[in-house]
Chains A and B, each alone.
Chain A
Amino acid sequence: MIWELELVIYIFLLISAIVALEVKDLLVAVVMMTVFSFLMALLFVAMGAIDVGFTEAVIGAGVTGILFVVVVFQTSRKSND
């Protein structure tokens, strides 16, 4: 693959990981984790592991995003006890 394009993907990967760790809003963190795993899928495909990249795109960017959103909506910011 073109190494400049891969470098851009790596930079976006670092940015999305740092934002997902540091941001205050949990919904933004979930979306950033989805972006992270989609970029990871692109990198897996670029490295030749098409099957791994496909699984990462479907599971990481699809299903776990939905499940994390459900979890975020079921928890509250302040504890009740």
Chain B
Amino acid sequence: MRRQFDSPIVILGSRLLSPYIMVFGWYVIFHGHYSPGGGFQGGALLAASILLIRVAGGRRISRLQIQEFATTPLAVIGVVIYFATGLVSMAMGGYFLDYEMLPIPGLDPAWLRYYGILIIEIGIGLAVMAILIMIYDNMVRGEDYA
């Protein structure tokens, strides 16, 4: 099972499929507040599109995409987006994650909740994507086939 060889069909297929999975992941994240799906599912779709290239192409090709050292900062950025939104609304006089206290001028409270949930979903999606890629990278570390 350990033999490895370049298969152009596998690489071509995953190259063809991966961008569409990624676009669908962003669609799920950006429509997550009023339709099924959300940050977790969209982040898992983004991670699936990147893991597909990593499994099919190997380490040399996956170095062109998100590299190993970039996963931890991305996860931290996602968590920081989440907590910053919650703590800003707390600092403006509301509760934690009380979206209608967000300091965006010129918006009704309903639209503030709308965009507040969208910001939260983007943070969750980034964190989930980065951590799933990190798990994969830590599992294949030291092996050369994938």
Contacts and interface: CB of A to CB of B under 8 A. Distances in A.
A80 interface: no
Interface string A49-69: 011001100110011001101
A73 B41 contact: no
A66 B135 CA distance: 11
Dominant SS at the B interface? Answer: helix
Dominant SS at the A interface? Answer: helix
A71 B139 contact: yes
A58 B36 contact: no
Contacts, number: 48
Interface of A: 27, 50-51, 54-55, 58-59, 62-63, 66-67, 69-71, 73-74
16 contacts: A27-B1, A51-B36, A51-B37, A51-B41, A55-B40, A55-B41, A58-B45, A59-B44, A62-B44, A62-B48, A63-B44, A63-B48, A67-B136, A67-B139, A69-B55, A73-B2
Interface of B: 1-2, 36-38, 40-41, 44-45, 47-48, 51-52, 55, 132, 135-136, 139-140, 143, 145-146
